[in-house]
Amino acid sequence: MHKVDVSLNQDIFAENQTIAQGIQDLLHSHNIRSFDFMGAIGSGKTLIIEHLIDILPNILPDTKVGVIVGDVMGDDDYQRICKHEVPVVNINTGKECHLDAHLIEHALYKLNLSEIDFLFIENIGNLVCPADFPLGTDKRVVTISVTEGDDMVRKHPLIFQLADAIIINKIDLVDVIDVDINKIMKDIRHLGEKTVFLTNARGEKGIQSLLNWLVTP
């Protein structure tokens, strides 16, 4: 926030980092692979996670998934994940625009870690704030959709820079809107080597490739 003392911000980031490291150690001690799904509002994060839960058993039978869902308010996404019969914890941040490691630490108390192999965390829909708050996951993934325009990466480079993979969703709508995926890809290339998945989550297109990447250590 504007005018917050810079040293205070640094304290917050440092504390988050310490807790995040503890989370990573804890998850690794349980052999859990974990993913932070960041991304724009309405970009399709929940639906992508739903598909991953459904098709993961196809390639890794008996693999167990746990999910932590972050939302400012309500439990819409939580209810959607519940239908897939996996353990899920809902975090309401109230007015906060991102999850942080401290919130995840609390959420983990509510999960039986010995019964989870993969942990998916759905962050708050926002391309700015979550960047500064790593959650201790193995990988960070950012989702955007083509319907938001082709300038999303250029306008929010930090979060894409910090991501291990980038999902460009709703590509089935490219033909009906005036968006150039090449522009997005060009902006991504400027950030360095990035793994990119083009998906249409409604049609399940691209989800299998994403899953293959997720399960590859």
- What count of Cα atoms within 13 Å lies in the side-chain half-sphere of residue 169? 25
Residues 91-120 that bind a second copy (CB under 8 A): 93, 95-97, 100, 102-103
CA–CA separation, 50 and 82 (whole Å): 10
The answer to the question of residue 14 lying near a second copy (CB under 8 A) is no
Residue of 61, 73, 192, 216 that binds a second copy (CB under 8 A)? 73
The answer to the question of residue 162 lying near a second copy (CB under 8 A) is no
Closest CA to 211 of 158, 135, 139, 124: 139
Provide DSSP, 66-115.
EEEEEESS-SHHHHHHHTT-S-EEEEE-TT-SS--HHHHHHHHHTS-GGG
Polymer length of the chain? 217
Stretch that binds a second copy, among 26-34, 55-63, 115-123, 153-161 (CB under 8 A): 153-161
- What count of Cα atoms within 13 Å lies in the side-chain half-sphere of residue 121? 31
Stretch that binds a second copy, among 48-56, 66-74, 134-142, 189-197 (CB under 8 A): 66-74
Least Cβ distance, residue 76 to a second copy (angstroms): 5
Q: What does the binding site for a second copy look like in residue numbers (CB under 8 A)?
A: 1-4, 8-9, 12, 15, 40-43, 71-74, 76, 93, 95-97, 100, 102-103, 124-129, 131-132, 145, 147-149, 151-152, 154-158, 170, 173, 176-178, 202
